[in-house]
Chains A and B, each alone.
Chain A
Amino acid sequence: MSASDIRPITMPKWGLSMTEGKVVAWLVDEGRTINVGDELLDIETEKIANTFEALDAGVLRRKVADVDASLPIGALLGVLAPASVSDADVDAYIAEFQANYVPPAVEEEASGPRYEFLDVHGYRLRYTRTGEGTQIYVLVHGFGGDLDNWLFNIDALAAVGTVYALDLPGHGESTKAVTAGSVQALAEDLCAFLTSLELSGVHLVGHSLGGAICLAAALAHPKLVGALSLLAPAGLGPEINAQYLADFVAGESRRDMKPVLQQLVADPELVNRTMIDAILKYKRLDGVGRALTAIAAGFVAGGKQSVALRGRLGELAIPAQVIWGAEDRIIPASHAAGLPAGVTATVLPGVGHLVQMEAASDVNRLLKG
C-alpha cells in the first residue's frame, strides 16, 4: 500500500456564496472504517448547518480540523486511508497537502461571474448556471425561498449535468414587484425563462410552491420538460399549514422568525442565526411583503390550497417522481400516497419540508436517477 491510497476529506463548497465553513462536530472517531455516504462531520455555513457525508471510503486515520475551526473551502479536514498505510505516510501526506494548499482568493471569486440575470415578462430574474453536461436540471425554489435553497444540490447535480437555479419573481434578487402571482402565471414565467435560454426537455425540479409551478409548466408546455421531480410540492391536495405562510409574511424580527422557520425542518438546530438573518434581509426589501402576499393568495385561500393539480398527473408523458419528508409540517407527506402509476413516490423518514437541504444526499441520488 502506498500514499496513493490516501484520500483527503476537504471543506465542501455548498453554494456560490460559500467561502468558508465552520466545523461544528466530528461524528466519527479516528480508526473507524468509513463507507461512501457515511456521516463524517457537522459543518455550519453562513446559510445553514449540515452534515457532511463521505465521498470516499477508507479508515479515518486523522482528524485534521478542530471543532469550532472556520476553514476555507478545499481546506483539509481529515484523512482517509487503508489501515495498511503507515502513520508516517499519513503524516507526510498531511504535511504535503498543507504546504501546497492555497485558499481560493476571495477577491477573485467576488469579481468573477457569480450570478446572471435574464429579462422575462417584465421581470429581471436572477439565476445561476453550473456544470457542462447535456442533461439539464432547472431548480425552482418554494414560497419565500431563493436559489440558495439548492446550495447542497447544485454541485452534486453539476457532476452529471448542467444545473440552472433561478429566483422566482418577488424572490431572492429577482424583481420584487409581482404583476401576476398565480401558479399559472409563475409557470408561464418559468417557461419563458426556459425558452429565452433555448432550453427544452429539461429535468424540472420544484420544491413546495415551486413544485406546483413546475407541474403546471410541464402540463402547459410538455415539450419544454423531459422529466419532473417534485419535492414536497404544493398542488397535490388541499391541506397546507396556512398559519406558516401568514407568519412567514408577517414576521419582522429574529424572535418572530425563528419558530416559524423551524417548522421547515425536522431538526430545529438546522435553523441558525445566519439563515434567519438572510431571510430577514430579504423580507425587509421594499416590495417583498406585497409580492409574498400576492403569491400566497395565488395558491392558498381559506386555509386550504386552491390549486388542485393531482387529477392531472395522469396527463404527464414523462418520467415523474415525488419526494417528501415524512416529518413535513408545511404540506403533509400523505399527499405522496395514491399517485397514479408512472409517478414514483419516495418518503424520507426523519426529514421535514426543506427536504433538499435536510436530506441533501438522498435527494441528490434520487434526482440523478
Chain B
Amino acid sequence: MARKILFQDAIREALDQEMARDPSVIVMGEDVVGGTGAPGEMDAWGGVLGVTKGLYGKYGNRIMDTPISESAFVGAAVGAATCGMRPVVELMFIDFMGVCFDQIYNQAAKFRYMFGGKAQTPVVVRTMIGAGFRAAAQHSQCLYPMFTHVPGLKVVVPSSPYDAKGLLIQAIRDNDPVIFCEHKALYAMEGEVPEESYTIPFGEANVVREGKDVTVVALGRMVGFATKVADDLAKGGISCEVIDPRTTSPFDEDTVLESVENTGRLVVVDEASPRCGMAADIAALVAQKGFSFLEAPIEMVTAPHTPVPFNGVLEDLYIPGPAKIEAAIRKVKGYKG
C-alpha cells in the first residue's frame, strides 16, 4: 500500500525490488557500496548521497564499487548489458559525461540499429543533475538535452518520488540504454509511493494540474516550482495547466499539443541552458505543429547561457525559479496581439 517516502528512498526501493526480482540486475559506480579497499565497514557510503545504502548487505557482489574511471566502468556496464546483464551504472554527476560519452552515444545507443535489431543494450545510467547545491560549474549542470539529442537513447527526468520509482523500474526492464537524471534537490522530497512494484511507461506525460488559460511544460525540479506558481495564480484567476513530460526521449507530443489547443498559450520551463535545450525543442514543436492554437508568443524560462556560478547569490539568480515562471505566465496571459 502507498505510504510517504523520500525521493531517494523511492530510487533505492526500485533498485532493491528489481535486484530481488531479476538476478541479472547489477549496480555499479563510484562509492555505491562505499568501503571497498578501506578498513572498516564495507557498506560505508551507499553512494555519495546514500541512495544505494543497504543494498550491499542484501545483494553482496551484485553491487560493486568501481575505480574513479568513468570511461572504464561505464564501458564495462555497456558491455555487460550486451552480454545479458541489466546493469544500473551510476555516473555520480552528469557533468562527468565527457569522459564516458563515446561508450554511451556512439556505442550503447547504436548497437540495436547497427546489428539489425539483434543486439540489445539494457543499461541504465543513473546520474545526478541540477544547480542549487553550491557545487560549482562542474557538478551542477542539467545536461539531459545532450542525451536527448542522440537517437537510440531514452532519457528520463523524474519530478516526484512516485514517478522516480515507477520510471526507474521501467528503465531497468527496458531493453534500450536509458539515461536516468535525478535532481539532487529532489532527494529529500516526500511523496506517496506504493510498496508494490510498478512501471510508468516512457513517453507518457503527466498532467500535474489541469487549467484552461496557460499551458506550463516543466521538467524535473521545475515541475514543483511551476505547480506552486500555478496554485498561487489560480487564486488570482489565472488557470494554468502544468505538464511534466517525465521523459524527454521519447517525448509525449500529443499531451502538450492537446493542452495548448485548449489554452492557446505556452510557457516552457527548463533548468538547462537555453540554446538547443528542451525549452527550445518543445517551443519549436508547438510552433510547428500547434501554430494555429497559439494566441500569444511562446515564453521560455531557462537558465541563462552561462556556466553555473559558484557564488551563492549568483547561483540562486541562475536557477529559473518561481518569480521568473510567474512573470512569464503573466506575460503570455496578458499578451494583446
Report A's interface with B, CB cutoff 8 A.
68, 110, 115, 126, 173, 176, 252-255, 273, 281, 284-286
B5 to chain A: closest CB distance in Å?
Answer: 13
Please determine whether B198 and A285 come into contact, CB atoms closer than 8 angstroms: yes
- Residues of the B chain whose Cβ atoms lie less than 8 Å from the Cβ of A252: 201, 204
- Residues of the B chain whose Cβ atoms lie less than 8 Å from the Cβ of A110: 4
A15 to chain B: closest CB distance in Å?
Answer: 15
B100 to chain A: closest CB distance in Å?
Answer: 32
- Residues of the A chain whose Cβ atoms lie less than 8 Å from the Cβ of B1: 115, 126, 173
Pairs A–B under 8 Å by Cβ, sample size 6: A173-B1, A252-B201, A273-B210, A281-B162, A281-B198, A285-B198
Tell whether B196 is near chain A: CB-to-CB under 8 Å: yes
Tell whether B232 is near chain A: CB-to-CB under 8 Å: no
**B234 to chain A: closest residue by CB:** A68
Tell whether B197 is near chain A: CB-to-CB under 8 Å: yes
Tell whether B107 is near chain A: CB-to-CB under 8 Å: no
- Residues of the A chain whose Cβ atoms lie less than 8 Å from the Cβ of B207: 254, 273
3 closest A-B pairs (Cβ-Cβ)? A284-B198, A286-B197, A285-B198
CA distance A286 to B196 in the complex (A): 7
A302 to chain B: closest CB distance in Å?
Answer: 30
- Residues of the A chain whose Cβ atoms lie less than 8 Å from the Cβ of B255: 254-255
Tell whether B254 is near chain A: CB-to-CB under 8 Å: yes
- Residues of the B chain whose Cβ atoms lie less than 8 Å from the Cβ of A285: 194, 196-198
In chain B between 70 and 95, which residues have their CB closer than 8 angstroms to a CB of chain A?
none
**A110 to chain B: closest residue by CB:** B4
Tell whether B36 is near chain A: CB-to-CB under 8 Å: no
Tell whether B166 is near chain A: CB-to-CB under 8 Å: yes
- Residues of the B chain whose Cβ atoms lie less than 8 Å from the Cβ of A68: 234
A117 to chain B: closest CB distance in Å?
Answer: 9
**B203 to chain A: closest residue by CB:** A253
Please determine whether B254 and A255 come into contact, CB atoms closer than 8 angstroms: yes
* Chain B interface, number of residues (Cβ within 8 angstroms): 17
Q: A-facing mask of B184-199, CB < 8 A → 1, else 0?
A: 0000000000101111
Tell whether B200 is near chain A: CB-to-CB under 8 Å: yes
In chain B between 151 and 202, which residues have their CB closer than 8 angstroms to a CB of chain A?
162, 166, 194, 196-201
Partner pick for B166 among A126, A173, A176, A284, CB 8 A cutoff: A284
Given contacts A126-B1, A254-B207, A273-B210, 7 further A-B contacts (CB under 8 A): A68-B234, A253-B204, A254-B204, A255-B255, A281-B162, A284-B166, A284-B200
CA distance A173 to B254 in the complex (A): 32
CA distance A255 to B253 in the complex (A): 12
CA distance A254 to B244 in the complex (A): 13
A284 with B199: in contact, given A253-B204, A254-B207 (CB under 8 Å)?
yes
**A126 to chain B: closest residue by CB:** B1
Please determine whether A176 and B196 come into contact, CB atoms closer than 8 angstroms: yes
Q: Which of B194, B198, B210, B254 lies at the interface centre, i.e. has the most chain A CB atoms within 10 A of its CB?
A: B198
CA distance A126 to B1 in the complex (A): 10
Please determine whether B198 and A286 come into contact, CB atoms closer than 8 angstroms: yes
In chain B between 1 and 34, which residues have their CB closer than 8 angstroms to a CB of chain A?
1, 4
A66 to chain B: closest CB distance in Å?
Answer: 10
CA distance A253 to B201 in the complex (A): 8
- Residues of the A chain whose Cβ atoms lie less than 8 Å from the Cβ of B210: 273
B239 to chain A: closest CB distance in Å?
Answer: 9
Q: A-facing mask of B118-151, CB < 8 A → 1, else 0?
A: 0000000000000000000000000000000000
- Residues of the B chain whose Cβ atoms lie less than 8 Å from the Cβ of A255: 254-255
CA distance A254 to B252 in the complex (A): 12
CA distance A273 to B255 in the complex (A): 13
B287 to chain A: closest CB distance in Å?
Answer: 23
**A115 to chain B: closest residue by CB:** B1
- Residues of the B chain whose Cβ atoms lie less than 8 Å from the Cβ of A176: 196
A148 to chain B: closest CB distance in Å?
Answer: 13
**B258 to chain A: closest residue by CB:** A255
Q: Which of A115, A176, A273, A286 lies at the interface centre, i.e. has the most chain B CB atoms within 10 A of its CB?
A: A286
In chain B between 200 and 228, which residues have their CB closer than 8 angstroms to a CB of chain A?
200-201, 204, 207, 210
B44 to chain A: closest CB distance in Å?
Answer: 32
**A68 to chain B: closest residue by CB:** B234
B240 to chain A: closest CB distance in Å?
Answer: 14
B244 to chain A: closest CB distance in Å?
Answer: 12
- Residues of the A chain whose Cβ atoms lie less than 8 Å from the Cβ of B234: 68
CA distance A173 to B162 in the complex (A): 16
**A286 to chain B: closest residue by CB:** B197
B241 to chain A: closest CB distance in Å?
Answer: 10
CA distance A253 to B245 in the complex (A): 13
CA distance A126 to B4 in the complex (A): 19
A157 to chain B: closest CB distance in Å?
Answer: 24
- Residues of the A chain whose Cβ atoms lie less than 8 Å from the Cβ of B201: 252-253
A166 to chain B: closest CB distance in Å?
Answer: 14
CA distance A284 to B199 in the complex (A): 6
**A252 to chain B: closest residue by CB:** B201
CA distance A99 to B306 in the complex (A): 53
CA distance A252 to B205 in the complex (A): 12
Q: Which of A176, A252, A253, A284 lies at the interface centre, i.e. has the most chain B CB atoms within 10 A of its CB?
A: A284
**B235 to chain A: closest residue by CB:** A68
**B209 to chain A: closest residue by CB:** A273
- Residues of the A chain whose Cβ atoms lie less than 8 Å from the Cβ of B4: 110
CA distance A173 to B210 in the complex (A): 27
A175 to chain B: closest CB distance in Å?
Answer: 10
CA distance A41 to B158 in the complex (A): 37
CA distance A196 to B197 in the complex (A): 29
CA distance A173 to B255 in the complex (A): 29
